[in-house]
Amino acid sequence: MITDIDKFVLMQDIPIHNEELLEILDEVLQFTKTIDFEKSSNVSEKKLAEREEYTSEEYMKSIQRLGSAHDGYPERIVGVGFNADDAKTGDYDNSPTTMRGYMEARDKLQTWAGANRNALFAVYPPGGFISWHNNANCPSYNVLFTWSDTGHGRWKHWDPVKKEIVVIEDKPGWQCKMGYYGSYSESSDFKKVVYHMAETECRRATVAFIFNVDETGKMLAEMLLEEIQTP
């Protein structure tokens, strides 16, 4: 069992063995089924066609060349954000009952994880993606829970030591990744800055939580790392 979060400067695939966690994740998952991608202003044939450009190695290198001028945010997300603000777009059932149920399920997961806050809940259609970026604007310990309908999708990050792109293929159902996103100021050679992206050929959902960069945050992340792997 892996328990040292500091070994995860780059994201690592963590096996989920905890049955209680899987039950909570399935509670969250049910709310993604209310999304109708055909009604989403952020999912169109034109935007789906941008995938090749924004997930390419050439695009990754272009934002790497920007150095600290890159603000850390992804330039493109072709999918639907699932939170109170995004509910206003009408991309899914935003009735009080649905939103209350979602918030309760999300909060239950966050409480179980012991995380400081929910950073992302995005649902991607077949062909959806999030472009290369690095989150250097928000250094933190991270946990990503990803659900894939058929497993036809993937996460990629740049390994600055090996000078190569690392691919973590999705699996059907739930999957977990944990790691650390560093800031530009932490390393002159940017070895803790994690350039990453994700793409999918099937329906895919990601729920991300972060822990503060301090001893308490590290302790909570390591406790979660151990708990996820415990049956």
Q: pLDDT tens digits, residue range 95-116?
A: 666 667 777 888 999 999 999 9
pLDDT band at 172 (very low <50, low <70, confident <90, very high): very high
Core vs surface per residue 195-220: b (16+ CB within 10 A) or e: bbbbbbbbbbbbbbbbbbbeeebbeb
Residue 74 contacts residue 129 (beta carbons within 8 Å): no
pLDDT for 169:
97
* Residue 192: how many other CB atoms lie within 10 Å: 19
Task: Encode pLDDT of 179-225 as tens digits.
Answer: 999 999 876 555 689 999 999 999 999 999 999 999 999 999 999 99
Could you give the C-alpha distances from 167 to 78, 146, 158, 193, in angstroms and in order? Answer: 20, 15, 9, 17
pLDDT for 30:
85
pLDDT for 60:
98
pLDDT of 231 higher than 50: yes
pLDDT for 84:
47
pLDDT for 187:
61
pLDDT band at 31 (very low <50, low <70, confident <90, very high): confident
Measured between alpha carbons, how far is 14 from 27 in angstroms, rounded to an integer?
20
pLDDT band at 155 (very low <50, low <70, confident <90, very high): very high
Residue for token pair 């729920």: 207
- What share of the chain has pLDDT > 90, as a percent? 64
Measured between alpha carbons, how far is 78 from 44 in angstroms, rounded to an integer?
8
pLDDT band at 87 (very low <50, low <70, confident <90, very high): very low
- Rounded to an integer, the average pLDDT of 166-174 is 97
pLDDT of 90 higher than 70: no
pLDDT for 40:
72
